[in-house]
Structure 1
């Protein structure tokens, strides 16, 4: 998603962008920090506006708006914060492999074809150039015309990958109206029993190594009723290529 202000030069110096990330509550809490200190620092140092959607959904939308260099700085700071979280979580772990940082962006589906390229040529080029893994969802996110794009790698690789993606989307504006993805609120999210379960979940889960910050496995939620669990199922498979 982008808004051009002036000409879009090769370096994107005259362009203001708006990018949207899809995060789970634990990720959001990490970038907000104690008393909002972390996100405040990110805003001040990057010069980008960072807004987080309200609500009690397990997913939140984080919107980053600003000049291109501000956007890249904000992404770099977010990726580095998640890297710190992974390192801290593995301090007393017996796992030897260090999982990559993972960010999920959402883009209008009409722009994703350009991002993939003919026969997958563009996305292959981005992977090889940046060293990051990039996956574009095959289907739209629920009740929207947006698709998820998942980026994994080192903070440096992720920032370079975002640069390449921004270049592509600036050259390929979305076609037609875009229906943005809005995460749904969990049924019963405000109920004290749910809040207690959620606190216990967050306290014990730490990091799900596969796909960093992935949804809790269903068996971890089983103290709640199967009927409620069925109503909460989100199509997380959309986030895979």
Structure 2
């Protein structure tokens, strides 16, 4: 999901691939989006360190024959300058448009103020863990810069260490002062999704952009166990040692199951919060998507009890089984577990997961592939409600024991393109939606042609459709719609995408949500046309203001 925002986007560079991150940022700054990248020294480059160092030394020998000190090329050693040069090479920087785009870009080593107190995001399309196969060699820009002459590595490391200590102290004070003592429970209306209970939406850049919570106000990227901002992982104690420590455990449910969990008028979910003391919510409905994310946060015991009640509700609401061979009803729940924490749950040679199955009486099956655009995998727990509850309790304890490994988790969000997750069961009783290999349609390839204006994207297979949201300032909506809707109709016709406009503002900022549904190529064309219309309107308004100033001076 891509969203255009008038406020600057702060990206945490740690763990991103240099070229992929540069390509996405270049598109955004050209579109008018302000971008700030911090921790540039932690950006990765594919390939071994030795090979990348040889390539850089080869670059050092390139120079102009005439007056190289003035005409370059200039061999920047700082990580931020290396990223800047990569982005500049993808932008027409010698034109007025390219110069203006680069002025919207800020790059830093470390996390300087005030960005240490702002929510930071990642770009899944550029993350090394998603785009580079396991076992492939890579190096960090920090080491490469240090080896070729960058002299501030120790300074940045020292400042970063101080920042992390300060952020940790803030978090500990926050945990002690508010929220998790268990004595105060706030009733929240059912209309609030987990994005209001735990975090705010943060899908901004192409495909998906999620928060990395590593500032004093968003918890720490070193300690995350989403739906989109402060990660549910952030809802854990800095030093989890007992069963009363808190965490957030998410599960994938169908739309029908979500309705049962919420209940009529929100009665079921309100009773669940009242009886167990957990924070619980279900993600909002997305048109065309039959999956929703259930989020439950609290202590280990409370989470296990909450899931027991949820599964009991699901069993009681489902029709009785045809076979009467089993005395107790059996069902299943699909938990979303970080790929980095799967080893903790499975254990060496599968001993841990086998012990959990033996102790609980439930059957557990883990998917081999990560879910699309995320670093989460599905663990399906099958059995009676009591057995599943015991298994979930053991799983939660495992996650608390190794909570540091959940750092940088990119959490799954159901989308229109993920219909393969929709089937609840297959012939073997397991979820039929575990074929989660990445579709090549998720990333538009260079040179791909947009759909013909006479063949709209709605004629495409539903599996190829993508949904993207952008936020447009309220004073710009009229110029996009045009007189009698002429402009928006033309954009729909040229792109082949279905574009709908929210009638009410998205939030207090007054921005309106535009929803674009179509193929990746069609959506890209629609975004291009929308951004062009915005730029044209901005230039027209600037010209009108300048003309008015000249008239007033005369």
TM range (shorter): 0.7 to 0.9
Instruction: State the secondary structure of the residue aligned to 1:134.
Output: strand
Q: Measure the CA separation in 2 of the matches of 1:40 and 1:147.
A: 29
**Out of 51, 62, 80, which is 2:281 matched to?**
51
Kindly indicate whether residue 260 of structure 2 is the aligned counterpart of residue 30 of structure 1. Answer: yes
Q: Measure the CA separation in 2 of the matches of 1:175 and 1:41.
A: 31
**Out of 81, 105, 110, which is 2:313 matched to?**
81
Residue 69 to residue 5, structure 1, CA distance change in 2 (3 Å): farther
Kindly indicate whether residue 398 of structure 2 is the aligned counterpart of residue 149 of structure 1. Answer: no
What's the CA shift for 1:94? 4.4
Q: Which moved more, 1:53-62 or 1:151-160?
A: 53-62
| 8 Å CA contact 1:117, 1:123 repeated in 2 | yes
Residue 176 to residue 32, structure 1, CA distance change in 2 (3 Å): closer
What's the CA shift for 1:213? 8.6
- Alignment partner, residue 416 of structure 2: 185
- Alignment partner, residue 228 of structure 1: 461
TM-score, structure 1 as length reference: 0.73
- Alignment partner, residue 165 of structure 1: 395
| 8 Å CA contact 1:26, 1:213 repeated in 2 | no
Relative to its length, the structure with more strand (as a share) is 1
| 8 Å CA contact 1:24, 1:213 repeated in 2 | no
Q: Measure the CA separation in 1 of the matches of 2:354 and 2:295.
A: 27
- Which structure is richer in relative contact order (CA contacts within 8 A, separation 6 or more)? 1
- Alignment partner, residue 237 of structure 2: 4
Kindly indicate whether residue 302 of structure 2 is the aligned counterpart of residue 70 of structure 1. Answer: yes
| 8 Å CA contact 2:362, 2:387 repeated in 1 | yes
What's the CA shift for 1:231? 2.9
Residue 94 to residue 62, structure 1, CA distance change in 2 (3 Å): closer
TM-score, structure 2 as length reference: 0.33
| 8 Å CA contact 1:48, 1:70 repeated in 2 | yes
- Alignment partner, residue 96 of structure 1: 324
Residue 186 to residue 146, structure 1, CA distance change in 2 (3 Å): closer
Q: Measure the CA separation in 1 of the matches of 2:300 and 2:322.
A: 40
Runs of 4+ in 1 over 4 A off after TM superposition: 207-210, 212-215
Q: Measure the CA separation in 1 of the matches of 2:323 and 2:359.
A: 29
- Alignment partner, residue 135 of structure 1: 365
Deviation readout 1:177-211 (Å, 9 max, x if unpaired): 11100100369xxxxxxxxxxxxxxxxxxx96954
Residue 127 to residue 48, structure 1, CA distance change in 2 (3 Å): same
Deviation readout 1:53-92 (Å, 9 max, x if unpaired): 1132211111111122221221110011122123xx12xx
Instruction: State the secondary structure of the residue aligned to 1:4.
Output: coil
What's the CA shift for 1:227? 4.0
Instruction: State the secondary structure of the residue aligned to 1:20.
Output: strand
Q: Measure the CA separation in 2 of the matches of 1:149 and 1:126.
A: 13
What's the CA shift for 1:40? 1.0
The CA RMSD measured in Å over matched residues stands at 2.8
Q: Measure the CA separation in 1 of the matches of 2:415 and 2:285.
A: 9
| 8 Å CA contact 2:263, 2:269 repeated in 1 | yes
| 8 Å CA contact 2:366, 2:378 repeated in 1 | yes
Residue 186 to residue 137, structure 1, CA distance change in 2 (3 Å): closer
| 8 Å CA contact 1:22, 1:60 repeated in 2 | yes
What's the CA shift for 1:136? 1.1
Residue 139 to residue 7, structure 1, CA distance change in 2 (3 Å): closer
Q: Measure the CA separation in 2 of the matches of 1:118 and 1:154.
A: 27
